[in-house]
Structure 1
Amino acid sequence: MIAINNLTFRIGSRALYEEANWHIKPGEKIGLIGANGTGKSTLLKIIVGEYSPSEGTVSMSKDIKIGYLNQDLLSYDSHHTILHVAMEAFERQNQLHDEIEVLLKKIETDYSDELINKLSDKQQEFEALDGYNIEYRANEILAGLGFSTEDQHRPLNTFSGGWRMRVMLAKILLQNPDILLLDEPTNHMDLPSIKWLETYLNGFEGAIVIVSHDRYFLDRIVNRIVESRKGKLTIYSGNYTFYLEEKALRSEIQKGEFKNQQAKIKQEERLIERFKAKASKAKMAQSRMKALDKMERVEDVDDDNPTVNFRFKFSKPSGRHVIRIENASKSYPNINILDQAEALIEKGDKIALIGANGKGKSTLLRMIAGTEAFSGKCENGHNVTTTFFAQHQLESLHLDNAILEELQAFAPKHSDTELRSILGCFLFTGDDVFKKIRVLSGGEKSRVALAKSLTTDSNFLILDEPTNHLDIQSVNILIQALEQYEGTFIAVSHDRYFLDSVANKIWFIEDQQIKEYPGTYAEYEEWQAKRLKEIVPGGGIKHAKVEKAKKEEAKPQVSDDKAKQLKKLNQQLQKLEDDVAAQDKLVKEAEAEIAKEEVYSNPQKLKEVNERYHHLKEQLGALQLHWEQLADEILILEG
C-alpha cells in the first residue's frame, strides 16, 4: 500500500531518520509512537508529500486516497455551518446535486429529450454515490463527535480550535479514504467522543496510522506498533500492551548479548595487550585487533522509562476536611451547571472529575480554586494550601528565562540541586535546564509548568488537563509523581490510563449535582456500563434492571411517578421508531420511483415525484430529530 525504503530525513545537520524502512499494508491498524521530538508528525508529513526525504523513497499506488488529520487544521476558518463544512467531503455528490437543481429548473420550460436524458444520467450517478443519504451520514458522524443538532447549523468560525478540529475529523471520515493518518486525534476530545471514535475506527475497513499518547485508545484500536527511535522505525505485531511486553523481552535479550559481547571484548583486549609486544605473537595480536575493530557492536539498552525519585513534601499537612461545597449554584446563558450542589473533599482524596465537554468540569475546578464567581459556599479546611494548574498557565511562563531560572524564581526555598532533581524527573537533564522557555515545544512547556506546580509548598493540587501535550513517557512521569504526592488533588483529564492510575474517587456532574463514585476509574466504568441503558436493535431502549440488596445503595431509587413517566416515554419512543422505519421505507420508494424511465421521461411527473421525495425526506428528518430528543429526555430521567 505504502512503502518507505531507506528513508533519511535531515533537519540541518541532524538526521531525524536514517535509512528507516516501513511497509504499510491494507487494513493494518498502526500506532506510531515515540518520545516528543523523534519525528512522528514529520513522518506523516513525508508520507503525504508535504516534506521530501533527504534520501530514500516513499512509494504508493497512484489512486490511493489518504485522509490526513493534523494539528495545523486548527487554523482552518469558514463562515459556513459545520454541517456544510463536513459535507464538503462529498465533492462529486455536491457537484451533481447543484447540476441536478439547474437541470430541474430548465426542465420547467424545456422538455427536450436531450435535457431529460442528461438529468436521468445525473440522477442515476447521484443515487449510485448514495447522494440522498450524505446529509444523514454527516449528521451521524458530527453527532458522534459531540455536536448537537443546533450546533451543526452554527458557523465554523464561532467554535474554538478544539471543536474545529473535530469538524475537520468528521470531514476526513466522511471522505472514506483508503488510509487514515491521524496525528493526536483525541486532543481536545471528551471521553464520550473518544469512545465513539474508538467504535468508528474499529469498524473502518481501510488502514489507519495513529499518533497518540493515549494508551487506552491505542490498545483498543491498533494491531501493530511502530516505534520511532534513534532515527529508526521498529515494528511490533500487537497493540500497545503487547509492545510493552515484547520490548521488555527484546531489551532483556539485548542486555544479555551486550553483557556477553563486552566480556568477550575485554578478554580479547587483554590477550592483545599481553601478546602485542612479543615478536612471535605480534601477527596474531594484530589479527585479533582487526577482528575486534570489525566486530558489529551490540548497543547497551537505554532506560526509556525514567523513575521519579524526588519526594514531594509540604511543610504543613491539611486538616481532615480539605474543601466543603455547600448550596453551590452556577449557570451561564442557556446552560445550568450546578443547582444547590454539595460535595466534600477529604485529606488524601485523589479525585478524577470526568464527563462530557460542556458539563462544567473546568468551571467546577475554578470554583474550587476561587477564581470563578458562583452562589453558595466553597470553604477551605484547616491549613489547606492550594496550587491550580491549567493550560493557560503555559502563557504565564517567562519566555526569556531559562528553565532552571523559571523554577528558581518560583521556588526560592529549594536548592539548585533539588530543582535540577525535579527537572530531571520531567526529562530536563544536563544542559537542558539552561534552555530558554521561548524555544520549547508545547509539551516541554507543559512539563515545566507541571514541575513548577510540584515545587510549591501546597498540600492540595487542582489539575485541569495536565496530560495535554505530554507524550506517553511524560504521562508516566506525572503518574509516578502523583503516586508519591502525599497531599490531596482533583484532576480533569481525558487520558483514561492516567485517571485509572492516580484516582481513588470519581466525581461527575449529573442533574446539576456533584455525584461521587468511591473507587478507581476502571471500577467506575464497570459500574456505569451496568447503570446505563442499552439501545436494542429494533426495540427501543432496554432498561438495565435495578439491582437489589447490597447494590441498591449504589443506584438511586426511581419514584413511582418517574417510573410511570418513563414507561410512557418508552412507549412513545417505540412507536416513533416504527414511524421512522415506515417513513424511511417511503423515502426509499420515492428514490426508486425517480429512477424509473416513465417518470424521468415525463417532466411533469418527474417534478411531482421530486417534490414528494423532498417532502418525505424532510418528514423523516423531523421524526429522527424527535427520536433523539425523546431518547435524551429518557436518559436524563433515568440518570
Structure 2
Amino acid sequence: MIAINNLTFEIGARALYDEANWHIKPGEKIGLIGANGTGKTTLLKIIVGQYSPTSGTISMAKDIKIGYLNQDLLSYQSDKSILHVAMEAFERQNQLHTEIENILKKLETDYSDDLLHKLSDKQHEFEALDGYSIEYRAHEILAGLGFSEEEQTRQLSTFSGGWRMRVMLARILLQAPDILLLDEPTNHLDLPSIKWLETYLQAFEGAIVIVSHDRYFLDRVVKKIVESRKGKLTPYAGNYSFYLEEKALREEIQSGQYKNQQARIRQEERLIERFRAKASKAKMAQSRIKALDKMERVDDVDDDNPSVNFSFKFSKQSGRHVVRIEHLSKSYPGLSILNNAEGVIEKGDKIALIGANGKGKSTLLRIIAGADKDFTGMSETGHNVTQTFFAQHQLEALHLENEIIRELQAFAPKHTETELRSILGCFLFTGDDVFKKIKVLSGGEKSRVALAKALTSDANFLVLDEPTNHLDIQSVNILIQSLQQFDGTFIVVSHDRFFLDNIANKIWYIENQEIKEYPGTYAEYEEWQSKRPAQAGKPATPPKKEEKPAEKPKPAPSADKSGELKRLNQTLLKLEERIGTLKTALADTETQLSKQEIYLDSKKLAAANDQYKKTKAELETVQGDWESLAEQILELEQ
C-alpha cells in the first residue's frame, strides 16, 4: 500500500531518520509511537508530501486516498455551518447536486430531450454515489463526535479550537479514505467522544496510522506498533500492551548478550595483554586483536523509562477538610452548570474529575482554585491549605526570556540548584538542556516546565487541568510517578484513562448539575458505570467502601504434623529440581536467541521467543509455588 525504503530525513546536521524502512499494508491498524522529537509528525508529513526526504523513497498507488488529521487544521476558518463544512468531504456529490439544481431550473422553460438526458445521467451518478444519504451520514458522525442537532447548524467560526478539530475529523472520516493518518486525534476529545472514535476506528475497513500518547486508545484500536527511535522504525506485531512486553523481552535478551559479549571482550583483552609482549605468542595476540576489531558489537540497552528519584515536600500539613462546597450554583447565559451542588475534598484525596465537555469540569476546577468567584453558594478552602493551580493557559505565564533553571529558581527559591536539576532531569531536561530559554521550547516541553514548577511549589493541594496534553507517553509516566509519590491532596481533570487509573482514588463527575462521587479507582468506576443501564428505574448510587471482613479463624493444625512436614519437604525438593531444570532451559533458549541464524529468521525467532516466554512464565509459577510451600512448612515448624 505504502512502502518507505531507506528513508533519510535531515534537519540541519541532525538526522531524524537514517535509512529507515517501513511497509504499510492494506487494512493494518498501526500505532506510531516514540518520544517527542523523534519525528512522528514529520513522518506523516513526509508520507502526504508536505516534506521531501533527504534520500530514500516513498512508494504508493496513484489512486490511494489519504485522510490526514493534524493539529494545523485548527487554523481552518469558515463562516458556514459545521454540517456544511463536514459535507465538503463529498466533493463530487456536492458538484452533482449543484448541477442537478441548475438543470431543474432550466427545465422550467426548456423541455428539450437533451436536457432531460443530462438530468437523468446526473441523477443516476448522484444515486450511485449514495448522494441522497450524505446529509444523514454527516449528521451521524457529527453526533458521534458530540455535536447536538442545534450545534450542527452553527457557524464553524463560533466554536473553540478543540471543537473545530472535531469538525475536521468528521470531514476526513466522511471522505472514506483508504488510509487514515491521525496525529493525536484524542487531544481535543472528551471521554464519550474518545470511546465513540474507538468504536468507529475498530470497524473502519481501511488502514490507519495513529500518533497518540493515549495508551488505552492505542490498546483498543491498533493491532501493530511501530516505534520511531534513533532514526529507525521498529515494528511490533501487537497493540501497545504487547509492545511493552515484547520490548522488555527483547531488551532482556539484548542485555544478556551485551553482558556476555563484554565478559568475552574483557577475557580476550586480558589474554592479549598477557601474551603480546612474548615473541612466541605475538602472532596469536595480533590475531585476537584483529578478531576483536571485527567483532560486531552488541549495544547496551538504553533506559527509556527514567524514574522519579526525589520526594515532594511541603512545609505544612493541611487540615482534614481541604475544600468544602455547599449550595454551589453556577450558570452562564442560557446554560446552567451547577445547581445547589455539594462536595468535600478531604486530606489525602486523589480525585479525578471526569465527564463530557461542556458539563462544567474546568469551571468547577477554577472555582475550587479560586480563579472564578462569579457563583452563588460556598467554596471554602480549609485550614493550612496551600495550593497550586495548573492549566494550559498558564504556559503563557512562563517568562520566555528565562532559562529553564532560572524559571524554577525564581518560583522555588528554597530549593538548591542541585534539587532543581534533579527535578528537571525527571522531566527529561538533562545536562545543558536546563539552560535553554523558554521561548525556544516546544508546546510539550513548556508543559513539562510548567508541571515541574507546579510540583516544586510549597503546595499541599494541587489543582490540575489537563496536565497530560502535549506530553508523550514517557512524560505521562513521569507525571504518574510524581503524583503517586505526592503526599498531599489533588484534583485533576484529564481524558487520559491510563493516567487516571494510576493516580486517582476517588472519581468526581457532574450529573444533573450536581457533583457526584464514586469512592474508588477509574477502572472500578468504569465497571460500575457499565452496569448502570441494566438497573433501569433504580436510582444509581455509588457503592460505599466495603469494610474489611473479619478474618476467618485458621484451621487447627494437623494432628500428624511430622508426616505432613515430611510430605511437604518432599514436594519442595521436587520443585527445587524443576526450578533448576527450567533455569537451564531458559539459559539454553537465550543462547539460541543470540545465534544469527535464529535472529535473522522471523519464524525461528518467533518460535524461540514463544519458548522463552513459556519457560520464563513456568519458572515464575514454580518459584511462586515454592515460596508458598516454604511458608506452609515454616508455619508447621513453629
What does 1:78-89 correspond to in 2, within 5 Å? Answer: 78-89=78-89
What does 1:308-323 correspond to in 2, within 5 Å? Answer: 308-323=308-323
The residue aligned with 1:512 is 513
What does 1:101-180 correspond to in 2, within 5 Å? Answer: 101-180=101-180
The residue aligned with 2:326 is 326
Per-residue Cα deviation, 1:11-65 (whole angstroms, up to 9, x for no partner): 1111111111100001100000000000000010111111111111110111110
Per-residue Cα deviation, 1:523-547 (whole angstroms, up to 9, x for no partner): 11111111136xxxxxxxxx64749
Distance in 2 (CA, whole Å) between partners of 1:28 and 1:93 is 29
Q: C-alpha displacement at 1:109, in angstroms?
A: 1.5
What does 1:209-220 correspond to in 2, within 5 Å? Answer: 209-220=209-220
| Alignment of 1:399 onto 2:400 | yes
What does 1:208-607 correspond to in 2, within 5 Å? Answer: 208-372=208-372, 373-532=374-533, 544=536, 546=538, 554=543
Q: C-alpha displacement at 1:160, in angstroms?
A: 1.3
Q: C-alpha displacement at 1:425, in angstroms?
A: 1.0
8 A contact 1:530–1:544 mirrored in 2? no
Distance in 1 (CA, whole Å) between partners of 2:34 and 2:168 is 25
The residue aligned with 2:628 is none
Compared with structure 1, are the counterparts of its residues 376 and 552 closer, same or farther at alpha carbon in structure 2 (3 Å cutoff)?
Answer: closer
**Which residue identity does 1:367 align to in structure 2?**
I
The residue aligned with 1:564 is none
Distance in 2 (CA, whole Å) between partners of 1:333 and 1:546 is 33
Distance in 2 (CA, whole Å) between partners of 1:552 and 1:47 is 50
Q: C-alpha displacement at 1:280, in angstroms?
A: 2.5
Distance in 2 (CA, whole Å) between partners of 1:185 and 1:69 is 7
Percent of residue pairs bearing the same amino acid type: 81
Compared with structure 1, are the counterparts of its residues 553 and 402 closer, same or farther at alpha carbon in structure 2 (3 Å cutoff)?
Answer: closer
Q: What's the secondary structure of 1:281's corresponding residue?
A: helix
Distance in 1 (CA, whole Å) between partners of 2:413 and 2:466 is 27
8 A contact 2:517–2:542 mirrored in 1? no
Q: C-alpha displacement at 1:288, in angstroms?
A: 1.8
Per-residue Cα deviation, 1:452-496 (whole angstroms, up to 9, x for no partner): 001111110000000000000000000000000000000000100
Q: C-alpha displacement at 1:553, in angstroms?
A: 6.7
8 A contact 2:518–2:542 mirrored in 1? no
Distance in 2 (CA, whole Å) between partners of 1:209 and 1:49 is 16
The residue aligned with 1:44 is 44
Per-residue Cα deviation, 1:537-583 (whole angstroms, up to 9, x for no partner): xxxxxx64749xxx87749xxxxxxxxxxxxxxxxxxxxxxxxxxxx
Q: What's the secondary structure of 2:59's corresponding residue?
A: strand
8 A contact 1:482–1:502 mirrored in 2? yes
Distance in 2 (CA, whole Å) between partners of 1:362 and 1:300 is 45
| Alignment of 1:201 onto 2:201 | yes
Q: C-alpha displacement at 1:431, in angstroms?
A: 1.0
8 A contact 1:74–1:164 mirrored in 2? yes
Distance in 1 (CA, whole Å) between partners of 2:213 and 2:541 is 38
8 A contact 2:386–2:461 mirrored in 1? yes
**Which residue identity does 2:522 align to in structure 1?**
Y
Distance in 2 (CA, whole Å) between partners of 1:261 and 1:53 is 37
The residue aligned with 1:627 is none
Q: C-alpha displacement at 1:286, in angstroms?
A: 1.9
Q: TM-score, normalised by structure 2?
A: 0.84
Distance in 2 (CA, whole Å) between partners of 1:334 and 1:210 is 38
Distance in 2 (CA, whole Å) between partners of 1:174 and 1:60 is 22
The residue aligned with 1:183 is 183
Per-residue Cα deviation, 1:398-419 (whole angstroms, up to 9, x for no partner): 1111110000000000111111
The residue aligned with 2:601 is none
8 A contact 2:519–2:542 mirrored in 1? no
Per-residue Cα deviation, 1:198-239 (whole angstroms, up to 9, x for no partner): 010001000000000000000000000000000011100000
8 A contact 1:546–1:552 mirrored in 2? no
The residue aligned with 2:2 is 2
Distance in 1 (CA, whole Å) between partners of 2:533 and 2:516 is 15
Q: C-alpha displacement at 1:114, in angstroms?
A: 1.1
Distance in 1 (CA, whole Å) between partners of 2:375 and 2:458 is 28
Q: C-alpha displacement at 1:284, in angstroms?
A: 2.2
Distance in 2 (CA, whole Å) between partners of 1:554 and 1:95 is 57
8 A contact 1:87–1:135 mirrored in 2? yes
Distance in 2 (CA, whole Å) between partners of 1:72 and 1:390 is 22
Q: What's the secondary structure of 1:468's corresponding residue?
A: coil
Distance in 2 (CA, whole Å) between partners of 1:98 and 1:124 is 14
Q: TM-score, normalised by structure 1?
A: 0.84
8 A contact 2:97–2:126 mirrored in 1? yes
Structure 2 unaligned spans of 5+: 545-638
Distance in 2 (CA, whole Å) between partners of 1:553 and 1:278 is 83
Q: What's the secondary structure of 1:280's corresponding residue?
A: helix
Q: C-alpha displacement at 1:281, in angstroms?
A: 2.2
Q: C-alpha displacement at 1:311, in angstroms?
A: 0.4
Distance in 2 (CA, whole Å) between partners of 1:60 and 1:264 is 47
Distance in 2 (CA, whole Å) between partners of 1:420 and 1:406 is 12
8 A contact 1:254–1:301 mirrored in 2? yes
8 A contact 2:519–2:543 mirrored in 1? no
| Alignment of 1:56 onto 2:56 | yes
8 A contact 1:463–1:491 mirrored in 2? yes
8 A contact 2:508–2:516 mirrored in 1? yes
Distance in 1 (CA, whole Å) between partners of 2:171 and 2:37 is 29
Distance in 1 (CA, whole Å) between partners of 2:91 and 2:510 is 41
**Which residue identity does 1:423 align to in structure 2?**
L
Distance in 1 (CA, whole Å) between partners of 2:339 and 2:161 is 30
Q: C-alpha displacement at 1:259, in angstroms?
A: 0.4
Q: What's the secondary structure of 1:63's corresponding residue?
A: coil
Per-residue Cα deviation, 1:104-157 (whole angstroms, up to 9, x for no partner): 111122111111111101101100100000001001101111111111111111
**Which residue identity does 1:252 align to in structure 2?**
E
**Which residue identity does 1:148 align to in structure 2?**
S
Per-residue Cα deviation, 1:255-294 (whole angstroms, up to 9, x for no partner): 0000011111111111222222222222222222122112
8 A contact 2:156–2:164 mirrored in 1? yes
Matched pairs, number: 543
Of the structure 1 ranges 271-280 and 107-116, higher mean CA displacement relative to structure 2 is found in 271-280
Structure 1 unaligned spans of 5+: 534-542, 556-639
8 A contact 2:329–2:339 mirrored in 1? yes
8 A contact 1:389–1:462 mirrored in 2? yes
8 A contact 2:179–2:206 mirrored in 1? yes
